[in-house]
Structure 1
Amino acid sequence: MRLPGAVEKAETVEVVRIHDYERVGLRDVVRGEVIARWGAAEIGAFRTVIAQVPESAMFLCFEPGWGVRVHGAAGFLFEAAFCFNCDRVRWWGPRIPSEDWGSTFKADSPAGQQLLGLFRACLPAGAEPPGVE
Structure 2
Amino acid sequence: MRLPESAVKTDRLECIRIDDLSEWHRWTSVPGATIGTWQGSDAAEALDLVAALPTGDVMRCFLPGFGLRAYGTDQLFFEIAFCFECHNALVIQPELDNRHDLIGFKADSRRAEDLLSRFRSL
Q: Same fold (TM over 0.5)?
A: yes
2:60 maps to: 60
Whether the 8 Å CA contact 2:12–2:38 is kept in 1: the answer is: yes
Report how far residue 116 of structure 1 moved: 0.7
Shift of 1:64: 0.5
Contact 2:28-2:94 at 8 Å conserved across structures: no
User: Is the 2:10–2:44 contact (alpha carbons within 8 Å) kept by the matching residues of 1?
Assistant: no
- Report the secondary structure of 2:7's partner residue: helix
Give runs of aligned pairs for residues 17-56 of structure 1, distance below 5 A. 17-56=17-56
**How many Å apart are 1:25 and its aligned residue?**
2.7
Task: Please report how far the alpha carbon of residue 19 of structure 1 lies from its aligned counterpart in structure 2 after TM superposition.
Answer: 1.9
**How has the CA–CA distance of structure 1 residues 117 and 16 changed in structure 2, closer, same or farther, with 3 Å as cutoff?**
same
Distance 1:41 1:82, change over 3 A: same
Judge conservation of contact 1:13–1:43 (CA < 8 Å) in 2.
yes
1:74 Cα offset (Å): 5.1
Contact 1:14 1:36 survives alignment (8 Å): yes
Deviations 1:21-70 (A, max 9, x none): 22433443111110001101211210221122100011010000001111
- In the superposition, the TM-score normalised over structure 1's length comes to 0.82
2: distance between equivalents of 1:76 and 1:50?
Answer: 18
Residue aligned with 1:21, SS: coil
Which runs of 5 or more residues in structure 1 are unaligned?
123-133
Q: Between Structure 1 and Structure 2, how many residues are aligned?
A: 121
Query: Which secondary structure does the structure 1 equivalent of 2:116 belong to?
Result: helix
Whether the 8 Å CA contact 1:87–1:105 is kept in 2: the answer is yes
Task: State the identity %.
Answer: 32
4+ residue stretches of structure 1 with deviation over 6 A?
A: none
TM-score of the superposed pair, with normalisation by structure 2: 0.89
Distance 1:31 1:66 in 2: 10
Supply the AA of the counterpart residue of 2:73. A
CA-atom RMSD in angstroms: 1.7
**Structure that is richer in strand per residue:** 2
Q: How far is the alpha carbon of 1:108 from its aligned partner? A: 0.5
1:86 counterpart = 2:80: no
